[in-house]
């Protein structure tokens, strides 16, 4: 596994030829295979996954409605088809001209969100989403302490267009030696403003036609320059930088908005990605979540220009989330 940088842009790739051996549970026509016995994330197949790192036992407080009665509600372990490895060397070398590269060093984990093969995150209860956010917080806390780890990336892929290869609902956690370029770009752009621009965006969008939902601690809105159909951002009202800074009430508030947003995406049966942005300790970035439904396909124009043609305005998207369409 190798990390390579573009000749001169701050654009990186990871070469991971092992990834092509992943099982694919979506066929070309995007029908789900429902062969539970073959699913390594299903209860009964625990021995087929890499060693378990942690679990939420079924006796805990997580809502058990409609999920099978098994020993666990959520469990997490190393990703068998990791695209980073702790055996790689984190050192990046450069010939000083065009070739900059290093080992794709890191830790790649999977959090299975439910013992049910058939339920998706959007079918679960708010309490389950809350528990999941607590797990993310715990994983970031633990993984950031590992040597040469500078950022823990948390994201969820849902559906074939969202890039998931397995039907069974899960989140991926990738502890990485670099601050991802997009996170760095956001930090640097925010630093050019007087005060936190996200705190101001919160205030402005809370009164805009792009507002979707709010509660006492958080807001969900369709961003002004949405790149995806029905793109949604969720952020805490308080200037929270990291998972660790989130209070119980804020976690509960975020979980409620995620739960509300996903139940709307369920109605569209939309593939989506859910991305968690937060600040490294030494920097300052307002914690936020981006949900990017994958209903449209980017084509040549988008790839050449990085300018996205979006056929659903954020104002329309917000009406959809507010049940006004």
CB 244 within 8 A of CB 280: no
Query: What number of CA atoms fall less than 13 Å from residue 95's CA on the CB side?
Result: 8
CB 88 within 8 A of CB 104: yes
> Is there binding between residue 112 and Zn ion (CB under 5 A)?
no
> At closest approach, how far in Å is the CB of 180 from Zn ion?
20
Distance CA 3, CA 247 (A): 36
Stretch of 2-10, 114-122, 207-215, 316-324 contacting Zn ion, by CB under 5 A:
114-122
> Is there binding between residue 196 and Zn ion (CB under 5 A)?
yes
Helix orientation angle between 126-143 and 248-268, rounded to the nearest 10 degrees: 120
Q: Which is nearer to Zn ion, 96 or 195 (CB)?
A: 195
Nearest C-alpha neighbor of 158 from the set 285, 20, 14, 275: 275
Stretch of 37-45, 186-194, 229-237, 267-275 contacting Zn ion, by CB under 5 A:
37-45
> Is there binding between residue 286 and Zn ion (CB under 5 A)?
yes
> Is there binding between residue 117 and Zn ion (CB under 5 A)?
yes
Q: Which is nearer to Zn ion, 196 or 295 (CB)?
A: 196
* Count of residues near Zn ion by CB under 5 A: 10
> Is there binding between residue 151 and Zn ion (CB under 5 A)?
no
Q: Which is nearer to Zn ion, 42 or 265 (CB)?
A: 42
Q: Which is nearer to Zn ion, 105 or 278 (CB)?
A: 278
Distance CA 111, CA 75 (A): 6
Interface residue with Zn ion, options 75, 131, 168, 294 (CB under 5 A): 168
* Ranges within 198-237 binding Zn ion (CB under 5 A): 198-199
Strands 100-103 and 151-158: unpaired
Q: Which is nearer to Zn ion, 43 or 314 (CB)?
A: 43
Q: Which is nearer to Zn ion, 64 or 92 (CB)?
A: 64
Distance CA 25, CA 22 (A): 9
Q: What is the DSSP string of 35-87?
A: -GGG-TTSTT-GGGSSPEEEEEETTSSS--TTS---SEEEEEEE-TT-SSBTT
Interface residue with Zn ion, options 1, 3, 5, 41 (CB under 5 A): 41
Nearest C-alpha neighbor of 3 from the set 90, 110, 108: 90
> Is there binding between residue 288 and Zn ion (CB under 5 A)?
no
> Is there binding between residue 39 and Zn ion (CB under 5 A)?
yes
> Is there binding between residue 42 and Zn ion (CB under 5 A)?
yes
* Sign of the Cα pseudo-torsion (119, 221, 154, 144, in order): negative
Q: Which is nearer to Zn ion, 39 or 317 (CB)?
A: 39
Q: How many other CB atoms sit within 10 Å of the CB of residue 252? A: 19
Distance CA 175, CA 250 (A): 24
> At closest approach, how far in Å is the CB of 298 from Zn ion?
30
Stretch of 79-87, 206-214, 238-246, 295-303 contacting Zn ion, by CB under 5 A:
238-246
Q: Which is nearer to Zn ion, 151 or 198 (CB)?
A: 198
Residue 247, C-beta contacts closer than 8 angstroms, at least 6 positions apart: none
Query: Apex CA 174: angle with CA 98 and CA 247, to 5°?
Result: 125
> Is there binding between residue 104 and Zn ion (CB under 5 A)?
no
Interface residue with Zn ion, options 239, 241, 266, 319 (CB under 5 A): 239
Stretch of 19-27, 105-113, 194-202, 313-321 contacting Zn ion, by CB under 5 A:
194-202
- What residues make contact with Zn ion under the rule CB under 5 A? 39, 41-42, 117, 168, 196, 198-199, 239, 286
């Amino acid at each position: 596994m190798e990390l390579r940088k573009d000749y001169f842009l701050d654009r990186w790739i990871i070469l991971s030829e092992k990834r092509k051996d992943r099982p694919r549970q979506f066929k070309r026509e995007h029908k789900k295979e429902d062969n539970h016995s073959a699913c390594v994330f299903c209860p009964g197949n625990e021995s087929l996954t890499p060693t378990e790192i942690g679990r939420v036992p079924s006796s805990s407080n997580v809502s058990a409605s409609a999920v099978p009665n098994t020993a666990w509600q959520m469990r997490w372990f190393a990703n068998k088809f990791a695209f980073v490895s702790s055996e790689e060397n984190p050192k990046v070398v450069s010939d000083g001209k065009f070739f900059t590269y290093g080992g794709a060093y890191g830790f790649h984990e999977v959090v299975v969100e439910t013992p049910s093969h058939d339920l998706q995150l959007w079918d679960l209860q708010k309490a389950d989403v809350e528990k999941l956010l607590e797990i993310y917080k715990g994983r970031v806390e633990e993984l950031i302490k590992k040597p040469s780890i500078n950022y823990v990336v948390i994201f969820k892929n849902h559906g074939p267009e969202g890039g998931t290869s397995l039907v069974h609902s899960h989140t991926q956690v990738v502890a990485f030696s670099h601050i991802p370029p997009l996170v760095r770009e956001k930090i640097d752009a925010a630093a050019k403003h007087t005060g936190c621009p996200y705190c101001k965006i919160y205030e402005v969008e809370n009164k805009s036609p792009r507002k979707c939902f709010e509660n006492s601690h958080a807001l969900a809105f369709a961003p002004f320059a949405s790149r995806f159909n029905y793109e949604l951002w969720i952020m805490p009202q308080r200037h929270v930088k990291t998972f660790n800074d989130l209070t119980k009430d804020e976690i509960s508030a975020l979980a409620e908005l995620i739960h509300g947003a996903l139940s709307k995406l369920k109605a569209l049966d939309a593939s989506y990605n859910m991305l968690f942005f937060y600040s490294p300790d030494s920097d300052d970035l307002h914690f936020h979540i981006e949900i990017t439904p994958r209903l449209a396909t980017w084509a040549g124009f988008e790839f050449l220009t990085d300018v996205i043609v979006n056929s659903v305005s954020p104002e329309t998207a917000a009406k959809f989330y507010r049940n006004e369409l």
